[in-house]
Chain A
């Protein structure tokens, strides 16, 4: 079965700094989803990547899928307090079941 490992597990950065979260899969990724979760709440869809080398951006968040389709990264530029939360990567195709990583808890210090 597919497993996703996220690193780091937690991250504390100063407001305005850049940061990167990684997601590594045990198998080839045919669909990679990034979600954000506020503590104890639902998941908010950020982006979906499918093709090797694909890169997508939304506001100050950029996600990439490597050429071999086994690793994805999420990069936040000039972090803000609103970026704080738990970031989750999930693997799946279409509406198939998603397998998630354990999450990365991001704290932004003023």
Chain B
């Protein structure tokens, strides 16, 4: 049974560019959440998708947007990248009212 998968593993972008990160949830899960983890910090909640709709959102600007597809996979898009967007981006999947299981993350470096 495959767990949560994310792609790509690493990514290097320059300021002002746009980036798309992808997540495939654990089999049977219908809810996907995205988190940003800066170096030395705990993860911070970005948003959550359920039934292809954004269900909750954390304190992140509109430059961060997402999408969930009918197969429950999800994308995180970040526009107009800033140096401060450099972080590990984590995807977590769950059933709506159950424990969140995390993927390996995508390391984004903005130069």
- Chain A interface residues toward B at CB < 8 A: 4, 33, 35, 40-45, 48, 88, 90, 94-103
* Distance (whole angstroms) from the CB of A48 to the closest CB of chain B: 6
Q: Evaluate contact between A41 and B42: CB separation under 8 angstroms.
A: no
The count of residues in chain B whose C-beta lies closer than 8 Å to any C-beta of chain A is: 29
Q: Evaluate contact between B100 and A95: CB separation under 8 angstroms.
A: yes
Q: Which of A90, A98, A99 has the most CB of B within 10 A?
A: A98
Q: Which of A95, A97, A100, A103 has the most CB of B within 10 A?
A: A95
Q: Evaluate contact between B105 and A42: CB separation under 8 angstroms.
A: yes
* Distance (whole angstroms) from the CB of B89 to the closest CB of chain A: 11
Q: Evaluate contact between B48 and A43: CB separation under 8 angstroms.
A: no
Q: Evaluate contact between B45 and A95: CB separation under 8 angstroms.
A: no
Supplied contacts A4-B42, A88-B42, A95-B33, 16 more A-B pairs, CB within 8 Å:
A40-B88, A42-B105, A43-B43, A43-B102, A44-B102, A45-B101, A45-B102, A94-B96, A94-B97, A95-B31, A95-B99, A97-B56, A97-B58, A98-B35, A101-B42, A102-B42
CA distance A95 to B58 in the complex (A): 14
* Distance (whole angstroms) from the CB of A64 to the closest CB of chain B: 18
CA distance A40 to B97 in the complex (A): 27
- Chain B interface residues toward A at CB < 8 A: 4, 31, 33, 35, 40-45, 48, 56, 58, 88, 90, 92, 94-105, 107
* Distance (whole angstroms) from the CB of A39 to the closest CB of chain B: 10
Q: Hey, which chain B residues are within 8 Å of A42, CB to CB? A: 4, 90, 102-105
Q: Evaluate contact between A99 and B102: CB separation under 8 angstroms.
A: no
Q: Evaluate contact between A95 and B95: CB separation under 8 angstroms.
A: yes
Known contacts A41-B105, A95-B31, A97-B58; is-contact A102 B94 (Cβ 8 Å): no
Q: Evaluate contact between B42 and A95: CB separation under 8 angstroms.
A: no
Q: Hey, which chain B residues are within 8 Å of A43, CB to CB? A: 43, 90, 92, 102
